[in-house]
Structure 1
Amino acid sequence: MLVLTRKTNESIQIGDEIEITVLSVQGDQIKLGIKAPKNVEIHRKEVYLSIQESNNEAASTSVNILDLIRNKSFDLE
């Protein structure tokens, strides 16, 4: 992990397109501003993990349904 020290209104650059700026520091909270292309998704870590978990559950459910369909014989008459 890279650890950087920044003061208010100082930034870090990630690649050519992402800039993170420290907007303010109040107690144990830091406000960050992030400039990135619209196609880059930005989430808080806990939200990202929740989305990943939901996606994994949905993918698992889809596979289970497909398995049931494949193993079921349908009488079309």
Structure 2
Amino acid sequence: MLVLTRRVGESVVIGDDVVVTVLEVRADGVRLGIDAPRHVRVHRSEVLDAVREANAAAAQADAADATAAAALRDLLPGHRPAAGRDPAAPADPATPDAGATPRG
């Protein structure tokens, strides 16, 4: 990591097209101005992290939805279950069959 000291109004050039300028220094933070071409994506790291987490959660939900949809599809009359699947088996082996008699 390159560490630089800059004063208000001073800049750092990244590559040929990106200029980062110190606009203001306060006790609780620094305001930066970033001049970059439109094709260069500039994001705050905390926003990018939140988007990545939301995408991962959505992907997990999509996988669960696909598994449930496949299980329902296998129960349709005239539908051939996917190879190796028992259409009478619950979609998730950890989930007991709704029609099963409770133990105990």
Aligned position for 2:27: 27
Question: Which whole-Å CA distance do the structure 2 matches of 1:23 and 1:64 have between them?
Answer: 47
- Tell me, which stretches of 5 or more residues in structure 1 are unaligned? none
Superposition TM-score, scaled by structure 1 size = 0.78
How many percent identity over aligned positions?
39
Aligned position for 1:52: 52
- Tell me, which stretches of 5 or more residues in structure 2 are unaligned? 79-104
Q: 1:17 to 1:71 in 2, by over 3 A?
A: farther
2:21 partner amino acid: T
1:11 partner amino acid: S
Superposition TM-score, scaled by structure 2 size = 0.62
Structure number with larger C-alpha Rg: 2
Aligned position for 1:70: 70
Q: Which has the higher strand share?
A: 1
Question: Which whole-Å CA distance do the structure 2 matches of 1:26 and 1:2 have between them?
Answer: 22
Q: Which has the higher helix share?
A: 1
**1:43, CA displacement in angstroms?**
2.4
